[in-house]
Structure 1
Amino acid sequence: MTPKTQTRTTDREDIAKRLLRSSAKASYDPLVEIDWDAPIDRDRYAIRPERLSLYGTELWETLTEDQRRELSRQEIASVASIGIWFETILMQMLVRHAYDRDPTTSHVQYAYTEIADECRHSVMFARMLGKLDAPFYRLDPVAQFLGRVFKTLSNGPLTFSGALFVEEILDQLQREIMVDEELEPLTRAVSRIHVVEEARHMRYAREEFARDWHNRHPLIQHYSRFVLGLVVYYATTRLINPRVYARVGLDPRTARKAARRNPYWTDTKTWAARKVVATLDAAGAISGPGRYFWRKAGLLGRPGAPAAPTAGPGTQRA
C-alpha cells in the first residue's frame, strides 16, 4: 500500500483571505475579456495535434489536414462539455460545503467566490462551443446518473479530490494551449482565463482535501478511494465523446476503439494527470480497489512507457 504523507497545510482562514485578495486582483468576465465576434481561424488547430486521441494511429493517417484541424475543434469542445458537467457538479458540492458553515468566515466567502467563478467558466465554455460550431456533448445516461449521485452523496474528501482531479487535468492541457501562438486564438484566450482562476481553486481544493482526509475514519477513507476511482474513470473515459469522430467522417465505434488502444493518447492522459496523481497517491487516496479504475482509465501510465513529451511552442504540426 502507498504510504500516507501528511501534506502541510496553511491556516484555513489565512489561505482563504489570500485567495480572496487574489480574486479581487485577477478575476475576469469572459463575456467582456474575449472577442466573441472574431471569426474562428480554421487554418489553425484548437489544441496541439499530438494531444488528440487519434494522433499516431492508422486512422490519423487517413485524415486530411482539414479533418485533423476539425477534429481538434471537436475534441476541445468535448473536453469543455465535460468541464461544464463537472463544474455544475462542483458548484452544488461547494454550496453543500458552505451550507452548515459560518458565512462571515473568509473560508466560506471564498467558497461563494469560487462558485461565482465556476458560473462564469461554464458560460465561457458554452459560448466557446457555439463559436467552434460544436454541440454540447452530453454524457451517456450512466455517467449522468452517477454524477447526480456523486454530487448528492459526496463527503469533504470526495468533493475536493474530485475537484482537484478535473481541474488539474484541464489545467495541464490549457497551460500548453495558452502559450502556443500557432493555435486558434479563441481556445488560447479561454485557456488563459481558466488557468489563472483555476490556480486559486486548486490551492483551495488541495488544502481542504489534505486538512480533511487524514482526520477521516479508515472506513470512510476506503469508501472515498473506491468512489473517487469510479468518478475518475467515468470522467476520463468520457473526455472524448465518440460523436466527435462522426463530425470528421469517421465511424464512431471504430475510432473510439482506436483511441482506447492508442499509446499516445494513454501517455497524454498520464502526463495530464501526473500532478494530481502524485498529490493523491502520496496521501494514500489511490490504493485498493479504487486504484484499478485509475489504471483502467489510463492515468497511471503504461509499464515501461516514457513520459509523454511536453512540446514547446512552434512544434511542427503533423
Structure 2
Amino acid sequence: MATTARKATTAVLEERDRQRRRTAERLLASSAKLSFDPLTEVDWDAEPVPGAYYIAPHRTSLYGTALWRGLTEEQRIELSKHEVASVASVGIWFEEILMQMLLRHAFDRDPTTAHVQYALTEIADECRHSVMFARMIAKMGAPAYGAGRVAHNLGRVFKAVSTHSQTFGGTMYVEEILDSFQREMMNDESLQPLVRQVSRIHVIEEARHITYAREELQRKDLGFVRRRAEQLLMGVVVYFATTRLIHPGVYASVGIDPAEGARAARANPQWRAAKVEMAAKVVGVLDRAGLVGRTNRWLLRAAGVV
C-alpha cells in the first residue's frame, strides 16, 4: 500500500508540473504577442482635459459625505487626481515587493523551465508598470504618497520572508483590486485620457499575472495548522494593502484636514461598498484556496472588504 500511495503522490506531482508548464508556455506566448512599452505608447505630452475627472466621482473615498458636498467641482476633480496618484503610488510599492518575491521564487528553481522564465517575464512587466505609474504621478503634478511608514517597513519584511501562499495570494489580492478599478477607468470615456491609457496597458498585462498567481496559489496544499498561520498573514496583507490605498494627505490638496478626511472616508458607506465590490472576486479566490477563515475574517472586516 505504501508503494501505491507513493505512486499516486508522484502522479499528482507530475500532473501539477505539466499544468504549470502549460500555463507558463501559454502566458509566455501571450507576452510575446501582446506587451506594451508605456514610454512610447502613452501620450505623455497631452494636456489634461478641462473638467474631466481622473476617476469616476462615485469611486472617490468621500463621495456622498458632507465633506464631498462642501467641495466645488474643481476641488472634486482635484481630489480625484490625488486619489489616483495615491493608489498608483501604492501600486508601485507593492510591485516593487512583488518583483523581489518573484526573484526569490525563481532563484530556487530551474531557469530553463517555462515556469521560471515567465516569472522573469512578469518581473520585466512590473518594472515597466512601476515606471509608468511613476511617470503618470509626475505628469499629474501630485506627490508619490506611498503606503505610509508602517506599511512601507512591513513590506520590507514581507518581501524577504513571504511564503509561497503569501507571495501568490498577496499578488492576487493587490492586482485584482487595481484591476477592478482600472477596468472601469479604461472604459469610461468621461475620464482623463492619461489615466485611461495607463489603465488599459496595466489591465491587459496584469490579466496574465493574475492567471499565473491564481493557478500557482491553487496548486498549494495546506495542512490545518499551516492554513491558520497563512490566513493570519494574508489578513495582514489585505488590511494594509487596502487601508493604505488612499493616503490621508490627499485631503489636504483640497483644504480638508487629513485626519478629518480619513475619518469621513472610513465611515463612508459608499467607499466601503466600493471596496467590497472591488474585492469580492479575489476574496472568493482566496477563500477557495483556504486563505480566508475565522483566523483572518476580522482583519478583512477591519479593511472594509467584507
Which residue of structure 2 lines up, in the alignment, with residue 241 of structure 1?
A: 247
* Equivalent position to 2:261, from 247, 255, 265: 255
User: What code does the residue aligned with 2:147 have?
Assistant: L
Aligned partner of 1:298 in structure 2 is 304
Q: 2:189 aligns with which of 177, 181, 192?
A: 181
Pair 1:196 & 2:204 matched:
yes
The residue that corresponds to 1:265 in the other structure is 271
Question: Sequence identity, in percent?
Answer: 58
In structure 2, the residue matched to 1:278 is 284
Shift of 1:281: 1.3
Q: Does 1:96 align with 2:96?
A: no
Bigger CA radius of gyration: 2
- What are the ranges of 5 or more consecutive residues in structure 2 without an aligned counterpart? 1-14
Aligned position for 2:119: 111
TM-superposed deviation, 1:52? 0.3
Counterpart residue number, 1:230:
236
Partner secondary structure for residue 175 of structure 1: helix
- Name the CA distance, whole Å, in 2 between partners of 1:50 and 1:71: 12
Which digits, 9 at most, give the CA deviation of each residue in 1:223-267, with x for residues without a partner?
A: 111011011101111100000000111111111100000000000
Consecutive unaligned residues in structure 1, runs of 5 or more: 1-7, 301-318
Give the corresponding residue for 2:164: 156
Name 2:11's counterpart in structure 1: none
User: Following TM superposition, by how much is the alpha carbon of 1:59 offset from its aligned partner in structure 2, in angstroms?
Assistant: 0.4
Letter in 1 for 2:157: V
Amino acid aligned to 2:129: H
Structure 2 counterpart of 1:34, from 42, 64, 69:
42
Which structure carries more relative contact order (alpha carbon 8 Å, separation 6+)? 1
State the one-letter code of the partner of 1:129.
I
- 2:67 pairs, out of 59, 79, 83, with 59
Is 1:131 aligned to 2:139, yes or no? yes
Query: Which whole-Å CA distance do the structure 2 matches of 1:47 and 1:139 have between them?
Result: 19
RMSD of equivalent CA atoms: 1.2
What TM-score do you get using the length of structure 1 for normalisation?
0.90
- 1:44 partner SS: coil
Q: Is the 8 A contact 2:148 2:247 kept in 1?
A: no
Q: Which amino acid aligns with 1:86?
A: F
Do the aligned partners of 1:78 and 1:239 also contact (CA within 8 Å) in 2?
A: yes
Aligned to 1:86: 94
| Structure-1 separation of matches of 2:38 and 2:268 | 35
Greater helix content:
2
Amino acid at match of 1:107: H
Letter in 2 for 1:26: L
C-alpha distance in structure 2 between counterparts of 1:131 and 1:70, whole Å: 14
* Partner Cα separation in structure 2 for residue 282 and residue 220 of structure 1: 15
Residues 40 and 131 of structure 1 are in contact (CA less than 8 Å); yes or no, is this contact kept in structure 2? no
Q: Tell me the CA shift for residue 39 of structure 1.
A: 0.9
Give a deviation string over 1:195-235, Cα, whole Å, max 9, x none: 000000000000000002x2x33322211110110111011
Pick which of 220-229 and 266-275 moved more.
220-229
Tell whether 2:54 aligns with 1:46: yes
CA distance in 1, matches of 2:135, 2:148: 22
Residues matched between the structures, number: 291
Distance in 1 between residues matched to 2:288 and 2:105, nearest whole Å: 25
Take 1:266 and 1:42, find their aligned partners in 2: how far apart are those partners?
29
**Could you report, residue by residue, the CA deviation over 1:58-87 in whole angstroms, capped at 9, with x for unpaired residues?**
000000000000101000000001100000
